[in-house]
Chains A and B, each alone.
Chain A
Amino acid sequence: MQQSRAVSRSERNWGSGFDITGMASRGTFDEIWGFGARRHARPGLEELAAWTKATSRAEFERRQGAAEQYFRDLGITFAVYGEEDSAERIIPFDIVPRIFTATEWASLSEGLVQRVEALNAFLKDIYGPQRILADGIIPPELIFTNPQYCIPASAARPPHDIHAHICGIDLVRTGPDAFFVLEDNARTPSGVSYMIENREAMLRLCPELFETYPIRPVDTYNDSLFRTLVSVAPESARRDPVCVLLTPGHFNSAFYEHSFLADTMGIALVEGSDLEVDEDVVYMRTISGRVRVDVIYRRVDDDFLDPLVFRPDSMLGVAGLMSAWQAGNVTIVNAPGTGIADDKAIYSYMPEIVKYYSGGEAKLPNVETWRCREPEALKYVLDNLEQLVVKLVDGSGGYGMLVGPTASRAEIEDFRAALKAEPARYIAQPTLALSTVPTWTAKGIAPRHVDFRPFLLTGRDGITVTPGGLTRVALKEGSLVVNSSQGGGTKDSFVLMDDDAGQSRSQPQSQAPSQTQSQSPGAAR
Chain B
Amino acid sequence: MSLIMLSRTAANLYWIGRYVERAEFTARLLEATIRLDSLSARPAGMGAWTSALAVASAAQGFKATGETISPMHVSRYLALDENNPSSIRSCIQTARSNARAARVALTREAWETINRAWNNLKGRTSTGGTQATLNLADQIKAEARGFEGAINRMLHSESYWFVKLGSIIERGEATARLLDVKYHLLLPEGEKVGGLIDRDQWLTLLQVVSARTAYHMLYPEGLKPWLVAEMLIFRRAMPRSLVATADEASQMLSAIAGAIGKQGQADRLARRREAALERLTIDSVFQNGLHQFLLGFIRDNNELDAAIAEQFRFT
Contact = CB atoms under 8 A, between A and B. Distances in A.
Interface stretch (B171-179, B220-228, B255-263): B255-263
State the majority secondary structure of interface residues on A: mixed
Given A287-B158, A288-B262, A274 B7 contact: yes
Contacts of A503: none
Contacts of B4: 268, 286-288, 291
B154 interface: no
Nearest to B108: A73
Interface stretch (B49-57, B98-106, B134-142, B296-304): B98-106
Interface string A256-286: 0001001100111111011000000000111
B116 to A, nearest CB: 13
Interface bracket on B: 10 to 19
B8, B256, B260 — which one has the most chain A CB atoms within 10 A of its CB? B8
Contact of A268 (B3, B260, B313): B3
Nearest to B112: A73
Contacts of A270: 6
Contacts of A289: 262
Contacts of A271: 8
A256 to B, nearest CB: 9
A250 interface: yes
A249 interface: yes
Contacts of A273: 8
A284 B10 CA distance: 13
B11 to A, nearest CB: 9
B8 A266 contact: no
Contact of B104 (A249, A259, A274, A285): A259
A263, A286, A289, A291 — which one has the most chain B CB atoms within 10 A of its CB? A286
Contact of B6 (A249, A259, A266, A268): A268
Contact of A284 (B2, B6, B260, B261): B6
A250 B103 contact: yes
Contacts of B8: 271, 273-274, 285
B74 to A, nearest CB: 34
Contacts of B260: 287-288
B218 interface: no
Interface string A316-348: 000000000000000000000000000000000
A274 B100 CA distance: 16
B77 to A, nearest CB: 29
Contacts of B104: 259, 262-263, 269
Contacts of A249: 101
Contacts of B183: none
Interface in B235-293: 256, 260-262
A269 B262 CA distance: 23
A266 B101 CA distance: 17
Given A268-B3, A270-B6, A274-B7, A285 B313 contact: yes
Interface string B84-104: 000000000000000011011
A140 to B, nearest CB: 44
A270 B105 CA distance: 13
A56 B7 CA distance: 53
Nearest to B111: A75
Contacts of B261: 288
B312 interface: yes
Contacts of A269: 6, 104
A249, A259, A287, A288 — which one has the most chain B CB atoms within 10 A of its CB? A287
A250 B101 contact: yes
Contact of A286 (B7, B101, B103): B7
A285 B7 contact: yes
A301 B109 CA distance: 33
A249 B101 CA distance: 7
Interface string B187-212: 00000000000000000000000000
Contact of A287 (B101, B103, B313): B313
B32 to A, nearest CB: 36
Contacts of B256: 287
Contacts of A291: 4
A274 B3 CA distance: 15
B306 interface: no
Nearest to A288: B260
B259 to A, nearest CB: 9
B6 A285 contact: yes
Contact of A266 (B3, B5, B158, B313): B3
A263 B106 CA distance: 12
Nearest to B11: A287
A286 to B, nearest CB: 4
A284 to B, nearest CB: 7
Contacts of B7: 274, 285-287
A408 B100 CA distance: 44
A264 B211 CA distance: 44
Nearest to A269: B104
Interface in A63-112: none
Given A285-B8, A285-B313, A250 B2 contact: no
Interface in A389-414: none
A62 B216 CA distance: 56
Interface in B1-46: 2-8, 10
A249, A268, A269, A274 — which one has the most chain B CB atoms within 10 A of its CB? A269
Contacts of B101: 249-250
A300 B224 CA distance: 62
Nearest to B261: A288
A450 B175 CA distance: 62
Contacts of B3: 266-268
B4, B158, B256 — which one has the most chain A CB atoms within 10 A of its CB? B4
Nearest to A242: B4
B312 A287 contact: yes
Interface in A274-314: 274, 284-289, 291
Top 3 A-B pairs ranked by shortest CB distance?
A288-B260, A286-B4, A287-B312
28 contacts: A250-B100, A250-B103, A262-B104, A263-B104, A266-B2, A266-B3, A267-B3, A268-B6, A269-B6, A269-B104, A270-B6, A271-B8, A274-B8, A284-B6, A286-B4, A286-B6, A286-B7, A286-B313, A287-B4, A287-B6, A287-B7, A287-B158, A287-B256, A287-B313, A288-B4, A288-B260, A288-B261, A289-B262
Given A267-B3, A271-B8, A287-B6, 12 more contacts: A250-B100, A250-B103, A259-B103, A263-B104, A268-B3, A269-B6, A273-B8, A274-B7, A285-B313, A287-B5, A287-B7, A288-B262
Interface of B: 2-8, 10, 100-101, 103-104, 158, 256, 260-262, 312-313
